[in-house]
Amino acid sequence: MRYSQYFLNTVRETPADAEVVSHKLMIRAGMIKKVAAGIYSYLPFGLRAIRKVEQIVREEMNRAGAIELLMPSVTPAELWQESGRWRQYGKELLRLKDRKEAEFCLGPTHEEVITDIVRRELRSYRQLPVNLYQIQTKFRDEIRPRFGLMRGREFIMKDAYSFDLDDAGADVAYEKMYQAYRRIFQRCGLKFRAVEADSGAIGGSFSHEFMVLADSGEDAIVSCDSCEYAANVEKAEIRFDAQAPAPAAELQKVATPGQKSIAEVASFLGVPAEKLVKTLIVETDSGELVAVLLRGDRELNLVKVGNLLDADWVELASDDKVFKVTGAPAGFAGPVGLEIPVLADMEVRAMADFVVGANEKDAHLTGVNHGRDFEVSRFADLRQAEAGDPCPRCGGRLETWRGIEVGHVFKLGTKYSESMQATVLDEQGRERTLVMGCYGIGIGRTVAAAIEQNHDENGIIWPMPIAPFQVLVTLVNPKDEAVAAAGEKLYRELCERGIEVLLDDRDERPGSKFKDADLIGIPLRVTVGSRGLKDGRLELQQRRSGERTLYPVDEMADRVV
Ligand code: ATP
Ligand code: MG
Ligand code: MG
Ligand code: MG
């Protein structure tokens, strides 16, 4: 590709809304263009990286025996009603109506659609096992889209779904996907960890998240310094002595009039902000705003509503504000709150000595022990793990990290196959409900995570396997005939060898070309200049190390491969 004819416009200024480095660099390197909040166009240079990741994913899925198909993004409400998720999903599901007033949604995931396909196509155990996947555009109306492709509303996901006759078969499918995921992220050149993403209570863990390690990651993970144990902090539980409840102490009331930030409330109450139980505002199906009190352990962003409605643990509080409490979930039905049916099956864990608060005078309680002062669930003797805690597996010490969830493998069991009646006949002619697994990878998020891990102050440093181009050939002065001729010759030679080359033949100042070269981060760079050519040499430079070596003109093509 000739840069002069390519569509790649780098940007000098850092975009105002970009908080993390991958977002900044993807905009500046002309990879993506914002169309609306959380919705981006993939420009040619960015698309090449996306396609690289997709190709690796595709190859590893195929190698693991999964079969590609493609489902629609617009999916009918009926399927979601069958599974119950039409009601459960909440606002993250973008719902729409056609001209006949029939309801649809843009698929945020495809369990319903794939289960519908499979139940109509499969009759017999002989057709099993099967694992079907697609690489497709998803839509989730994230409450706070940010970080560019990392948390978009429209994004590309690889999603796979396995169907087996029994649990043992489903476990085999899970293991295959787990291994395929390891290969995928290794091949992408990423430092990652597979962490347990469920409590593993039922003998062994059947959900793992693949986390790219990065300080900007939205997830907190713990890992043991002496064994293999690693888990999402949300799911890493430490059992503490469930002492007999202390005599009910007076709950102290604290006045906090006006809108306070979490930090202000925390400092006023004299508790670390991460120990503060914050108010999470959740919109229910009926559009009602309800508040849920939660322990927050990090920045205050409301990002887990979908999980909440899926009856799981919730991680964060809302914007940098303490909101008015209008209710609380069943588990908290104590001094604060009403019963909120839509949240009733949420698991509320015990938290010792916390604060619950609202943006109302006299509506804060300190010294709260949930097990004692509030009626809480069966998790009363569990709390989330923290750095320094003993490893639940070997007693070693836990360390904490931040990570970006790029992939998730999940043993679903019969959740969808049961509600949607996906069955086959077994060897004895009996009807059996299929056992499912689902496996997702965020393609754009993986590219962004790669940049989070691979950059310096000047720009991106692409890992070779996902680099948009492998080699950049820069003509220092393309008007110099010798330079142009040597550059063209090398370009042709490299192209003939199947190497992806960007030839910077632009009529620009060398300084600005080198700046762009650093910014767009192509791993290998050949500089063709009149000075070197006089000695019959070209310079090869590694983007990562900056190391430069001169080679004879005719050797260069061999040196690059
Ligand atoms: P998160 O916890 O970050 O919201 P999730 O657990 O909701 O992600 P999954 O339902 O597990 O996501 O989807 C599979 C994969 O899709 C995730 O591991 C992630 O890589 C990707 N993904 C999910 N949401 C987004 C998003 N808003 N933007 C980009 N990629 C996403
Ligand atoms: Mg999510
Ligand atoms: Mg998640
Ligand atoms: Mg997930």
Beta bridge partners of 73: none
Q: What is the DSSP letter of 296?
A: -
Residue nearest to ligand 1 atom 22, measured at CA: 442
Identify which of 271, 338, 340, 328 has the alpha carbon closest to the alpha carbon of residue 294: 328
Residue labelled with tokens 């001729």: 485
In this prediction, residues 156-180 reach a mean pLDDT of 97
pLDDT at 561: 75
> CA-CA distance, 15 to 495, in Å (whole number)?
35
Residue nearest to ligand 1 atom 11, measured at CA: 408
Pair type for strands 207-213 and 237-239: unpaired
Identify which of 456, 475, 452 has the alpha carbon closest to the alpha carbon of residue 521: 456
Q: Are 209 and 405 in contact (CB under 8 A)?
A: yes
Region class of 183: left (phi > 0), else alpha (psi between -120 and 50), else beta: alpha
**Looking at ligand 1, which atom is closest to the CA of residue 404?**
3
Over residues 77-106, the pLDDT tens digits come to 999 999 999 988 888 999 999 999 999 999
Residue nearest to ligand 1 atom 14, measured at CA: 440
> CA-CA distance, 13 to 239, in Å (whole number)?
50
In this prediction, residues 434-457 reach a mean pLDDT of 97
Question: What is the distance, to the nearest Å, from the Cα of residue 420 to the centroid of all Cα atoms in its chain?
Answer: 28
516 half-sphere exposure, CB direction, 13 A CA radius = 23
In this prediction, residues 18-32 reach a mean pLDDT of 97
- pLDDT above 70 covers a percentage of the chain that reads 73
pLDDT at 331: 31
As a whole number of Å, the end-to-end CA separation of the chain is: 18
* CA–centroid distance, residue 129 to ligand 4 (Å): 24
> What residues does ligand 1 touch, defined as CB less than 6 Å away?
109, 140, 142, 151-152, 155, 157, 303, 306, 405-408, 440-442, 444-445
* CA–centroid distance, residue 54 to ligand 3 (Å): 20
Over residues 38-87, the pLDDT tens digits come to 999 999 999 999 999 999 999 999 999 999 999 999 999 999 999 999 98
Which of 10-19, 217-226, 256-265, 499-508 shows the highest mean pLDDT? 499-508
- Among the listed ranges 207-216, 354-363, 418-427, 515-524, which one has the minimum average pLDDT value? 354-363
Band of residue 513 on the pLDDT scale cut at 50, 70, 90: very high
How much is the pTM? 0.79
- Which ligand is closest to the CA of 442, given by its number? 1
* CA–centroid distance, residue 378 to ligand 1 (Å): 29
Band of residue 508 on the pLDDT scale cut at 50, 70, 90: very high
* CA–centroid distance, residue 303 to ligand 4 (Å): 12
Ligand 1 pocket test: pick from 445, 447, 451 the residue with the most ligand atoms within 8 Å of its Cβ.
445
Band of residue 383 on the pLDDT scale cut at 50, 70, 90: low
In this prediction, residues 107-114 reach a mean pLDDT of 98
> CA-CA distance, 132 to 115, in Å (whole number)?
11
pLDDT at 140: 97
Residue nearest to ligand 1 atom 16, measured at CA: 442
Ligand 1 pocket test: pick from 134, 408, 409, 411 the residue with the most ligand atoms within 8 Å of its Cβ.
408
CA distances from 148 to 15, 399, 522 (A): 11, 29, 21
pLDDT at 382: 52
CA distances from 152 to 36, 218, 448, 450 (A): 10, 14, 11, 16
pLDDT at 337: 24
Beta bridge partners of 390: 397
Residue labelled with tokens 């290998």: 524
Over residues 355-377, the pLDDT tens digits come to 444 433 444 454 444 444 443 33
Q: Are 431 and 157 in contact (CB under 8 A)?
A: no
> CA-CA distance, 168 to 307, in Å (whole number)?
27
* CA–centroid distance, residue 416 to ligand 3 (Å): 19
Residue nearest to ligand 1 atom 1, measured at CA: 405
Q: What is the ipTM of this complex?
A: 0.99
Structure tokens at 301: 């962003």
Structure tokens at 299: 């920045």
Structure tokens at 269: 């109450």
Identify which of 375, 488, 349, 407 has the alpha carbon closest to the alpha carbon of residue 158: 407
Residue nearest to ligand 1 atom 23, measured at CA: 442
Residue nearest to ligand 1 atom 31, measured at CA: 442
Backbone φ and ψ of 374, nearest 5°: -125, 155
> CA-CA distance, 227 to 231, in Å (whole number)?
12
Band of residue 392 on the pLDDT scale cut at 50, 70, 90: confident
